[in-house]
Amino acid sequence: MAVTMEHSSNLDSISRMLEAHADELSENIAISAPNHSPLFYQGLYNQSLKIVGQLRAMGIQRQDRVAVSLPNGPEMAVAFLTIAAGAICAPLNPAYRAREFEFYLNDLNAKALMLQPGVAEPAREVAERLNIPVVDLLPNLESAAGIFQLSTAAKVSSESLDFAGPDDTALILHTSGTTSRPKMVPLSHRNLCTSARNVRTALALTGTDR
């Protein structure tokens, strides 16, 4: 993903960053991947509006946790940004076994699980047993890098979208659990945006870097 704008210190949530980039850097590349056309910031912002709208139509709110078990790639990157813009994203390793998925989904009290067909199928079986709704992410191979559809029949809410704010949790990770029970580590939008700015500064990145 291309780096943020010079005045990004005023942008302390993912949704604000995406909106600002769409307004000022709409034709700049946000995400690129082999065998795909690039995704520009305007397209990334539009995708966030769509996904947050669909989450709301499913009844998923800002403090609800959406578990995501996807392969690495542009769809995973876009899924994280667009889910976190309106809810809490909780990534899970697709290589986990069924008992591990059961532990993490229970621990998260996940409101939904997002999967890609054919990947992390043990998670699907566990979620169905736990009565956790499963939403399939369907990559759109004809579109720009990272663009996808969701299998849910929920229509985008026509109401004003309620985006997550700076102090809302954007991301939940788990500790490794090598010596005890894994513990949840919540990261706020402010945490992530500050970290991104620090990385940009430390590496002297510019908008043309990839």
What pLDDT is recorded for position 3? 37
**Model-level pTM?**
0.89
In a domain, 188, yes or no: yes
| Spatial separation of the C-alpha atoms in residues 95 and 115, rounded to whole Å | 12
Q: How many domains does the chain have?
A: 1
Which ranges constitute the DSSP H helices of the chain? 14-24, 41-57, 74-84, 98-108, 121-129, 189-203
| Spans of the chain below 70 pLDDT | 1-10, 153, 157-160, 177-179
- Residue 2 is predicted with a pLDDT of 40
pLDDT digits (tens, 9 = 90+) for 16-68: 999 998 998 888 999 999 999 999 999 999 999 999 999 999 999 999 999 99
Phi, psi dihedral angles at 29 (to 5 degrees):
-75, 130
pLDDT for residue 4: 37
| CATH for 114 | 3.40.50.12780
Torsion angle of the four alpha carbons 53, 58, 62, 66, in this order, in degrees rounded to the nearest 10: -110
Task: Kindly state whether residue 208 falls inside one of the protein's structural domains.
Answer: no
pLDDT of residue 25: 84
